[in-house]
């Protein structure tokens, strides 16, 4: 297509779908769509994980020509999709344990290789707890061996399934059931946590990407790109959780977008340990815009507020922006 | 073909002949030689298209095996001791999902204190996990049980542990009849899974199950164990017909005809036990032995029948249920419930302590006169134990138990922690 003028949806900076080439458009409802995670599941209203999984798995299915096996870690996604005797999964799907999805997927991939099945692909998925905490050893092992598995982490920044406890992805100062908003430094401790996308890159695996439900088109493109490669691949998707974050279900996409636009959740792609592309921030917002609508950060804005904490969170965002060159004019 | 071969290597060759498609394993003594042997055979292209996964932990080893088995591959792993404990969650998961994985346990004690030598604490810790557990007496039986295990596992869609005494069998070189690959192929058909992750026929495996169906799922897992009570002897008979030798089965009695005292044991100690029985029989004593091959399912009815004529039963076991006594003995008592037959427990061989024929003969003789205490701790150093108990009474900060005992026994240079005066 030769169209050069971009029209964006009002206030969103999302490019109009109709202006894209047909093969690049995001198609939400079509008879060809597999609906791998089909309707009727029991996710909460406004669940970012259900949305992210629906788009990610369908994109992977399309790329695999509908020959995909999914392995799921224990967690919200597993529980809301398969309460016995129902299942929302329209593809071969296996749930084993909380901390072993990468190893189980490696086993599936090995079985397919042993059987000479070169067409069927393997997807593993889990939440942030299952991925970066209890399943991290198995994930690192899968990266180390470069197993032919695409691992997708849906990051809602705490253990939501068990009632919102802190994980290694819980952001600084966030209130959870185990980091209560009391005391001198309320909420999650500053200076803790880990960054699995960067750790994945340190394994020098073929592909690592971060994505957000705020930009489903980008999410699908990254999944499609990953599926075009072999070996261990990792995509980390930011998925707001209204229940755990204390936000309105209708604000899920807005919050995901503010996380990106504030610089707290940078979107980038890396190959073999090197960043190859970043999504620039078109309209930068202060972290306060992202934090304020969420009850888990309410203590930062109560009474005298927590100016120091807010400044530290802003510094984290600023560092991300510098580190990944998210605001082009600030780099040059 | 007869070979003078290390037990682990013999097991590796037997497993390779069963044509596994995926092997995932993590090193732990004394199981390592088995998977080293398999890694070499896979790399040399002797195991078809088999994939060998070098995993980062035992938990990952069995997890990868779960994925491979669910994808329809014949799957094998092996471990010991701490490794089995580290994979415990996956042990229950594999049986809960009904995946026919075969796993060798190179039986080893569980720490602390860390100890690499043989006893049965590891397998016993997983006795109720839903896996079948078969114990080998010799390396020949270890080979034969592995070949039977794959067929048994796949027939019932249930995982099987083949338990092989660490070092005593795994590292022993002895004569083993390694079967012909064609013979194994005829005995063991290809794996036809009852459930498989197949894009052409998508299923969900591992759904969440609440109170409405969980009991039924568990019952069916128990039912498979009951089915195994019939399948194991049938398979052993078929094996004997195909390979020309007896191996496996639920139990194997030895000179129990008319025996007043019958001694029960699992695994390699049965060799010593048979020698003891021979000696005591020659001495005119009415003694016999029964080897328990299948610990899970536990052959309650078969043992009750085999022990019908016995006046007393002695269970020699390489494990200890702390706070209770014998694990095997408890199971045997269940087999004999309602009968007055006394069951004596002999806790023996923990952490690799040698079980000698002389000691066995002594305790069996004591049992025949009903003068054996229960449980009896075979060859326990009571002096060292009493001295340590006395120290606990004397001082609050008594120090580390294992180190004190080693000093007390003179196995290391210094006197026990806090002991006054010069060292001797």
| CB-nearest partner of B93 from A68, A96, A105 | A96
Residue of A nearest to B93 (CA): A96
Cβ A97–B56 below 8 Å, yes or no? Answer: no
- CA separation, residue B176 to residues A25, A78, A277 (Å): 66, 48, 61
Same domain, B62 and B103: yes
Residue of B nearest to A124 (CA): B67
Tell me the mean pLDDT in the region A49-63. 97
How confident is the model over A243-284, as pLDDT tens digits?
Answer: 999 999 999 999 999 999 999 999 999 999 999 999 999 899
In terms of residue numbers, what domain contains B343? Answer: 251-377
| CB-nearest partner of B21 from A82, A114, A137 | A114
Same domain, B234 and B355: no
How confident is the model over A176-211, as pLDDT tens digits?
Answer: 999 999 998 899 999 999 999 999 999 999 999 999
Residues of chain B with C-beta less than 8 angstroms from the C-beta of A93: 197, 202-205
pLDDT of residue B147: 98
Lowest mean pLDDT among A136-145, A263-272, B413-422: B413-422
Q: For residue A174, tell me if it sits in a domain.
A: yes
On average, the pLDDT of chain B sits at: 96
Q: For residue A310, tell me if it sits in a domain.
A: yes
CA A191 to chain centre: 21
Same domain, B122 and B256: no
Distance CA B415, CA B7 (A): 40
Q: How confident is the model at residue B288 (pLDDT cuts 50, 70, 90)?
A: very high
Tell me the mean pLDDT in the region A54-76. 97
pLDDT of residue A227: 98
The stretches of chain A forming alpha helices (DSSP H) are 48-63, 76-81, 101-114, 128, 136-145, 196-202, 216-227, 242-245, 252-262, 287-291, 307-324, 328-331
User: How many domains does the structure of chain B reveal?
Assistant: 2
pLDDT of residue A13: 58
Helix (H) or strand (E) holding A152: strand A150-155
Strands across the sheet with B204-205, in order? A274-278, A268-271, A207-212, A233-238, A150-155, A121-127, A68-72, A93-95, B204-205
Q: For residue A3, tell me if it sits in a domain.
A: no
Q: For residue B402, tell me if it sits in a domain.
A: no
| CB-nearest partner of A107 from B22, B59, B199 | B22
Cβ B209–A138 below 8 Å, yes or no? Answer: no
Q: What CATH number has the domain bearing residue A75?
A: 3.40.50.970
| CB-nearest partner of A106 from B57, B64, B209 | B64
Q: How confident is the model at residue A10 (pLDDT cuts 50, 70, 90)?
A: low
Same domain, B52 and B92: yes
B195 burial via Cβ count (<10 Å: 0-12, 13-18, 19+): middle
Cβ B71–A106 below 8 Å, yes or no? Answer: no
Residue of A nearest to B95 (CA): A96
Same domain, B141 and B51: yes
pTM, entire model: 0.95
In terms of residue numbers, what domain contains A189? Answer: 28-331
**Contact call for residues B130 and B92 (beta carbons, < 8 A):** yes
Same domain, B356 and B372: yes
Same domain, B95 and B219: yes
Distance CA A152, CA A222 (A): 11
* Residue B92 to chain A, least CA–CA distance (Å): 10
Answer yes or no: is pLDDT of B420 > 60: no
| CB-nearest partner of A91 from B65, B89, B199 | B199
How confident is the model over B165-202, as pLDDT tens digits?
Answer: 999 999 999 999 999 999 999 999 999 999 999 999 99
* Residue A72 to chain B, least CA–CA distance (Å): 9
User: How many domains does the structure of chain A reveal?
Assistant: 1
Cβ B205–A94 below 8 Å, yes or no? Answer: yes
How confident is the model over A151-164, as pLDDT tens digits?
Answer: 999 999 999 999 99
Same domain, B160 and B304: no
How confident is the model over B359-388, as pLDDT tens digits?
Answer: 999 999 999 999 999 999 999 999 999 999
How confident is the model over B206-258, as pLDDT tens digits?
Answer: 999 999 999 999 999 999 999 999 999 999 999 999 999 999 999 999 999 99
Q: Look at the block and give the residue holding tokens 């079967």.
A: B179
Cβ B197–A66 below 8 Å, yes or no? Answer: no
Distance CA A208, CA A154 (A): 14
Answer yes or no: is pLDDT of B319 > 50: yes
CB pairs under 8 A between A and B: 164
Interface test with B, best of A106, A111, A147 (most B CBs within 10 A): A111
Residue of B nearest to A106 (CA): B64
A60 lies within 8 A of chain B by CB:
no
Same domain, B176 and B220: yes
Same domain, B289 and B346: yes
| CB-nearest partner of B53 from A69, A78, A110 | A110
Tell me the mean pLDDT in the region A6-32. 67
Answer yes or no: is pLDDT of A6 > 60: no
Q: For residue B115, tell me if it sits in a domain.
A: yes
Q: Which residues make Cβ contacts (< 8 Å) with residue B292, sequence separation at least 6?
A: B135, B250, B251, B264, B265, B266, B299, B303, B328
* Residue A137 to chain B, least CA–CA distance (Å): 7
Same domain, B283 and B150: no
Q: For residue A21, tell me if it sits in a domain.
A: no
């Amino acid at each position: 297509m030769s169209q050069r003028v971009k029209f964006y949806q009002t206030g969103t900076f999302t490019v109009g779908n109709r202006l894209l080439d047909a093969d690049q458009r995001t198609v939400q409802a079509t008879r060809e769509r597999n609906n791998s995670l089909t309707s009727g599941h029991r996710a909460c209203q406004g669940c970012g994980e259900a949305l992210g999984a629906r788009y990610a798995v369908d994109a992977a299915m399309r790329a695999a020509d509908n020959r995909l096996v999914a392995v799921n870690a224990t967690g919200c996604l597993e529980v809301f999709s398969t309460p016995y005797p129902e299942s929302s999964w329209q593809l071969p799907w296996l749930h084993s344990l909380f901390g072993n999805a990468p190893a189980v997927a490696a086993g599936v991939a090995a079985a397919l290789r042993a059987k000479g099945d070169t067409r069927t692909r393997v997807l593993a998925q889990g939440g942030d707890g299952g991925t970066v905490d209890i399943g991290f050893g198995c994930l690192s092992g899968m990266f180390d061996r470069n197993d032919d598995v695409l691992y997708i982490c849906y990051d809602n920044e705490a253990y939501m399934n068990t009632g919102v406890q802190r994980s290694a992805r819980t952001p600084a100062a966030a209130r959870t059931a185990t980091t209560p908003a009391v005391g001198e430094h309320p909420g999650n401790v500053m200076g803790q946590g880990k960054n699995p996308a960067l750790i994945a890159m340190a394994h020098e695996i073929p592909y690592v990407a971060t994505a957000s439900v705020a930009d489903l088109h980008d999410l699908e493109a990254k999944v499609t790109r990953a599926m075009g490669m072999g070996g261990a691949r990792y995509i980390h998707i930011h998925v707001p959780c209204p229940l755990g974050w204390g936000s309105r279900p209708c604000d899920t996409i807005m919050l995901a977008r503010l996380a990106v636009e504030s610089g707290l959740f940078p979107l980038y792609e890396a190959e073999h340990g090197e960043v190859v592309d970043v999504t620039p921030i078109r309209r930068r917002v202060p972290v306060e815009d992202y934090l304020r609508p969420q009850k888990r950060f309410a203590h930062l804005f109560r009474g005298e507020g927590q100016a120091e904490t807010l400044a530290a969170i802003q510094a984290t965002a600023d560092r991300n922006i510098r580190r990944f060159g998210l605001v082009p004019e600030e780099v040059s | 073909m007869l070979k003078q071969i290390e037990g682990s290597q013999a097991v590796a060759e037997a497993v390779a002949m069963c044509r596994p498609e995926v092997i995932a394993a993590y090193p732990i003594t004394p199981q390592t030689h088995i998977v080293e042997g398999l890694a070499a055979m896979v790399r040399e292209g002797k195991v078809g298209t088999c994939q060998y996964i070098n995993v980062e932990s035992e938990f990952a080893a069995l997890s990868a095996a779960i994925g491979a088995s669910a994808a329809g591959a014949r799957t094998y792993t092996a471990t010991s001791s701490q490794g089995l404990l580290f994979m415990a969650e996956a042990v229950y998961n594999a049986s809960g999902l009904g995946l026919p994985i075969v796993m060798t346990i190179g039986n080893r004690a569980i720490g602390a204190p860390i100890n690499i030598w043989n006893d049965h604490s590891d397998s016993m810790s997983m006795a109720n996990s839903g896996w079948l557990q078969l114990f080998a007496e010799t390396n020949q039986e270890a080979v034969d049980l592995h070949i039977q295990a794959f067929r048994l596992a796949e027939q019932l869609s249930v995982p099987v542990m083949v338990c092989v005494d660490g070092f005593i069998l795994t590292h022993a070189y002895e004569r083993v009849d390694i079967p012909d690959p064609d013979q194994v192929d005829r005995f063991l058909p290809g794996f036809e899974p009852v459930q498989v992750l197949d894009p052409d026929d998508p299923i969900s495996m591992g759904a969440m199950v609440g109170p409405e169906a969980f009991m039924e799922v568990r019952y069916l897992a128990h039912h498979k164990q009951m089915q195994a009570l019939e399948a194991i002897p049938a398979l052993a008979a078929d094996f004997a017909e195909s390979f020309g030798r007896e191996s496996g089965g639920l139990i194997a009695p030895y000179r129990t005809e008319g025996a007043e005292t019958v001694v029960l044991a699992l695994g390699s100690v049965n060799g010593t036990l048979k020698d003891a029985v021979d000696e005591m029989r020659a001495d005119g004593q009415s003694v016999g032995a029964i080897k328990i091959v299948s610990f899970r399912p536990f052959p309650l009815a078969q043992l009750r029948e085999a022990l019908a004529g016995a006046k007393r039963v002695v269970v020699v076991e390489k494990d200890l249920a702390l706070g209770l006594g014998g694990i095997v003995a408890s199971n045997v008592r269940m087999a004999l419930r309602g009968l007055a037959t006394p069951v004596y427990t002999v806790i023996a061989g923990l952490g690799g302590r040698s079980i000698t024929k002389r000691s066995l003969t002594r305790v069996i003789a004591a049992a025949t006169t009903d003068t054996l205490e229960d449980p009896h701790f075979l060859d326990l150093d009571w002096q060292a134990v009493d001295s340590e108990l006395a120290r606990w009474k004397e001082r609050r900060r008594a120090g580390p138990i294992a180190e004190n005992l080693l000093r007390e026994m003179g196995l290391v240079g210094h006197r026990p922690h806090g002991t006054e005066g010069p060292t001797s």
